[in-house]
Amino acid sequence: MSERTVITQKAQAFFDDLWKRGDPWKLETSDFERIKYEREIGILRGRRYPRVLEIGCGAGWFTRSLGQIADQIVALDISPAAIGRAQAAVGFESIDFRVANVMDYNPRAEGPWDLVVMNETIYYLGWLYSFFDVAWLAAELFAATRDEGQVLMANTCGGVEDYLLCPWIIRTYHDLFLNVGYQLDSKETFRGTKDGADIEVIISLFGKAPAQKGSPVARA
């Protein structure tokens, strides 16, 4: 058994155990999460997206909001328990919920995508996999994003005593998407209180500019 397979199995067992207990991050009941999701939808400025890829969809709480602005959504999560909850709770025929590890998923195969969404997901990937692997994923997502398509990313960045959420590493993940070729269309810091803690969340909207005619990318 390869090391990557072992990591995937451990990750699936870890997150599946959390979701089997209920809603581990209070995504459904927290006013903080509800307002944060509203801010994320707001940053998209009323745009409609033909095809959306959501990575780390959990039980589909944010997917519901995406269903209002997307024609077709592929929503991935590594936890079968989370996907089971999402399929039972979210009533959009346009949403395809799948049990999948994005590190084993080929985004180009079903692309191009008009919007890619990663909510509170990338630091878990950084915890489980090497930075090279995370960087390779970012590059693959860039290649699979349609010209003028976008990536919406939100990550907690302060206010929580968790080494995965150190501000400097969260900013590094966001900068990574600039380094692989995206441009920053919009960015804001959402601040709120959850479970008595003052929390900051970086919300970034990245865009993929059309390749210039005559450039190596355009000729490829």
**Each residue's pLDDT tens digit, 132-189:** 999 999 999 999 999 999 999 999 997 777 889 999 999 999 999 999 999 999 999 9
Predicted TM-score of the model (pTM): 0.93
The ranges assigned to domains in the chain are 3-219
Q: How far apart are CA 8 and CA 40, in angstroms?
A: 29
Report the alpha-carbon distance of residue 21 to residue 83 in Å, rounded: 14
- pLDDT tens digits, one per residue of 65-102: 999 999 999 999 999 999 999 999 877 889 999 999 99
58 DSSP 8-state letter: T
CATH architecture classification, 3-219: 3-Layer(aba) Sandwich (3.40)
DSSP for residue 210: P
Single-letter amino acid, residue 141 = L
Q: Which amino acid would we find at residue 96?
A: D
